[in-house]
């Protein structure tokens, strides 16, 4: 028994990547996101670094790479280049940027680069049994070669960094955002970390610098024709219609694949979606969201923190209040738009707006979710009861409606809303899975068939700007054909195949429009705002909250 205990305690620990040490010294939070939570992104700087290495190889640069690992040091990594100078072995690193210059303007290595090259030097000493006097770093932006001495203090610095990395791996909490804002501007994980948004929420800045990408230019492919097959051909998706017509779409240009009705997809194409991080979603022929292909990977720690937060009734109630206030304010302001430029006041519309304002004042006082549900129900009833007042007199009478109805919709207006909400639910699910949260664990909606509670929670923020407003605008512009775009079966009204394609086009164009965030004061497309809102929600239980559910239309 004693022997077993000794063996267990002396078992070698997992080695740390040298590149991870570089991240640790650059920013402990970056290290934690990459190595503990296993979140990675590849921005332009990463690809530029790869191109630099390829160019050096093509130019015939003396280039010998070594993959090294040493359990005693606790390190592993791949040396950029290894050369012999004056019978001494020297490791080289190539950096795309500029070197650091102190007060004396002397070229020096950045501290993160210094630890990286020293770690490689220590690995070489352990692997080859030799003394490595120094490492060298070529900074290509200013064509400077920096010599980094490997002495006893340098070796100790490497060991200390390894120990810091190991300790941080055991921590359940993310390190705080760095105080050096310049590091964030060059960080590939800024869209995940959201450091500027954290500083804004904490009152450390008056305005956030937008580090979150403004748009995702990848295409969203809707496969709507029954019998269509989606397969894989090389690095492309191959879409074959029933008549044999084939279209290919490059995977790197594809953000989502949505299969409607009886479209099919091969197993190889599904694996390809997971590999290329392409969202895959399924919608019924009637326009109902069915589900998504969940390909989440990485650390479970983030979902554990989500579980701990969203099983706390106090946290759930607070988030739910924010959510109900956000949607209710947007609904009220949408109705208020109907009063602009109108000579004759609409008494019914004014009354609904005033009643909604009174109810919204009660939301922060709700002390249980059941009370909040009642207030939200009253707000929704007032909103949909007043919404017909926004329909233009020039709109076809077939598009008028009296109230919200669904499962199934009983008029054309509700058919448009229902299909729109399905598309929105799909997009919210795509963002939740891309971020890596658990969609089945929400804070307001209760679990029910198919629709995950967290997705139902988050879509409340976007119902008005992404569905209600575009539907109303399209009806007032007479964009719909009352016969061709709809199918009527008894009391049930559905969009036809052509109607669904028309709505998809309208909806996707709406998502491409930009909107200035009312708090951060930077502009993003609605498509990006959905993912941003998911990440801001996660910050609510990370001790960095304050910006969630602030998207209220003007």
Residue boundaries of the structural domains of the chain? 13-193, 224-283, 310-540
Judge residue 167's burial from the number of C-beta atoms within 10 Å of its C-beta, 0-12 exposed, 13-18 middle, 19 or more buried: exposed
pLDDT score for 148: 96
Residue 176 pLDDT: 94
**pTM of this prediction?**
0.86
* Contact yes or no for 273/236 (Cβ under 8 A): no
Q: What CATH number is given for 224-283 in this structure? A: 3.100.10.20
> What's the pLDDT at 65?
58
**What's the confidence (pLDDT) of residue 3?**
39
Q: How many CB atoms lie within 10 A of CB 80?
A: 21
What's the confidence (pLDDT) of residue 83? 83
| pLDDT score at 66 | 72
Backbone dihedral region of 198: left (phi > 0), alpha (psi from -120 to 50 degrees) or beta? alpha
**Measured distance CA(537)–CA(548) in Å, rounded:** 6
Of the candidate CATH numbers 3.20.20.70, 3.90.320.10, 3.40.470.10, 3.40.50.300, the domain formed by 13-193 belongs to 3.90.320.10
pLDDT along the chain (554 residues), means of 10: 40 83 95 88 46 45 67 90 83 91 91 96 91 93 94 96 94 91 90 92 87 87 93 93 92 92 94 92 91 83 90 95 96 89 76 95 94 94 93 88 86 94 96 92 80 93 96 94 90 91 96 92 93 95 92 89
Asked whether the beta carbons of 434 and 295 are under 8 A apart, the reply is no
* Cα distances (Å, whole numbers) of residue 428 to 69, 216, 466, 533: 42, 15, 12, 10
Place of tokens 């249980």: 368
Cα 299 from Cα 358, distance rounded (Å): 45
Pairing of strands 134-139, 107-108: unpaired
- What SS3 state is found at 554? coil
CB of 325 closer than 8 Å to CB of 360:
yes
DSSP state of 34: I
CA distance 103 to 364: 54
Pick 310-540's CATH classification: 2.60.260.40, 3.40.630.30, 1.20.120.920, 1.10.1060.10. 1.20.120.920
């Amino acid at each position: 028994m004693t022997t077993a205990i000794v063996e267990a305690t002396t078992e070698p620990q997992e080695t740390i990547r040298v590149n991870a040490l570089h991240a640790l010294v650059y920013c402990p939070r970056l290290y934690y996101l990459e190595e503990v939570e296993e979140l990675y992104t590849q921005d332009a700087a990463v690809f530029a670094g790869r191109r630099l290495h390829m160019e050096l190889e093509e130019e015939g640069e003396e280039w010998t790479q070594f993959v090294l690992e040493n359990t005693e040091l606790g390190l592993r990594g791949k040396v950029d280049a290894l050369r012999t100078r004056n019978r001494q072995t020297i490791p080289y690193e190539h950096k795309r940027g500029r070197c650091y210059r102190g007060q004396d303007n002397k070229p020096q290595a950045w501290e993160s680069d210094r630890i990286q090259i020293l770690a490689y030097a220590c690995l070489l000493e352990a692997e080859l049994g030799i003394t490595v006097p120094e490492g060298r770093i070529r900074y290509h932006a200013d064509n400077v070669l920096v010599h980094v001495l490997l002495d006893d203090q340098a070796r100790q610095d490497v060991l200390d960094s390894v120990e810091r990395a190991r300790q941080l791996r055991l921590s359940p909490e993310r390190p705080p955002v760095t105080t050096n804002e310049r590091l964030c501007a060059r960080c590939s994980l800024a869209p995940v970390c959201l450091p500027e948004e954290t500083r804004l929420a904490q009152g450390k800045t008056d305005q956030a610098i937008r580090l979150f990408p403004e748009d995702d230019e990848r295409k969203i492919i809707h496969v709507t024709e029954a019998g269509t097959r989606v397969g894989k051909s090389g690095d492309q998706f191959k879409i074959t219609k029933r008549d044999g017509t084939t279209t290919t779409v490059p995977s790197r240009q594809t953000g989502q694949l949505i299969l409607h009705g009886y479209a099919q997809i091969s197993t190889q194409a599904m694996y390809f979606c997971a590999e290329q991080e392409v969202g895959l979603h399924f919608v019924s022929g009637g326009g109902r969201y069915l589900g998504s292909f969940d390909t989440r990977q990485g650390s479970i720690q983030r979902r554990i923190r989500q579980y701990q937060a969203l099983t706390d009734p106090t946290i759930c109630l607070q988030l739910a209040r924010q959510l109900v206030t956000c949607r209710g304010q947007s609904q009220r302001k949408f109705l208020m738009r109907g009063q602009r430029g109108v000579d004759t006041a609409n008494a019914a519309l004014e009354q609904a707006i005033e009643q909604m304002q009174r109810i919204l004042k009660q939301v922060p006082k709700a002390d249980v979710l059941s009370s909040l549900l009642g207030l939200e129900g009253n707000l929704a009833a007032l909103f949909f009861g007043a919404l017909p007042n926004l329909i233009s007199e020039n709109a076809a009478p077939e598009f008028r409606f009296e109230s919200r109805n669904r499962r199934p919709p009983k008029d054309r207006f509700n058919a448009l809303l229902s299909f729109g909400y399905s598309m929105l639910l799909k997009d919210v699910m795509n963002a939740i899975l891309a971020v890596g949260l658990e969609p089945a664990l929400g804070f307001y909606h209760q679990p029910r068939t198919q629709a995950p509670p967290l997705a139902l929670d988050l879509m409340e923020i976007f119902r008005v700007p992404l569905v209600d407003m575009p539907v109303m605008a399209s009806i007032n512009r007479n964009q719909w054909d009352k016969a061709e775009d709809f199918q009527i079966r008894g009391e049930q009204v559905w969009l036809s195949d052509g109607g669904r394609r028309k709505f998809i086009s309208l909806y996707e164009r709406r998502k491409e429009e930009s909107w200035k965030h009312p708090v951060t004061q930077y502009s993003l497309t609605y498509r990006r705002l959905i993912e941003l809102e998911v990440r801001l929600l996660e910050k609510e239980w990370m001790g960095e909250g304050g910006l969630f559910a602030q998207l209220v239309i003007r």
